[in-house]
Amino acid sequence: MAYQYIKVDVVEKTYVITINRPEADNKLNIECMDEISASLRKAESDPGCRSVILTNSGR
């Protein structure tokens, strides 16, 4: 799935979800929260996922 406000990388068994809205100081909006929720559901349904890291991009 393509995301507009986040970036998702899978490193070994860890999902790294990066909020990527530097122009808005990475503040959350409804669309960003929806994307985070969707990526968390994907991680939850992946039997290989062991952890999730939520971070933000630098400015």
pLDDT at 1: 76
14/43 Cα distance (integer angstroms): 9
4-20 mean pLDDT: 98
26/34 Cα distance (integer angstroms): 15
31-45 mean pLDDT: 98
Where along the chain do its domains lie?
6-56
One-letter identity of residue 28: L
Residue 59, pLDDT above cutoff 70: no
pLDDT at 4: 97
Confidence of residue 29 (pLDDT cuts 50, 70, 90): very high
What percent of the chain has pLDDT above 90? Answer: 95
Tell me how crowded residue 26 is: count the other CB atoms within 10 A of its CB.
Answer: 18
Query: Would you identify the CATH topology of the domain 6-56?
Result: GMP Synthetase; Chain A, domain 3 (3.30.300)
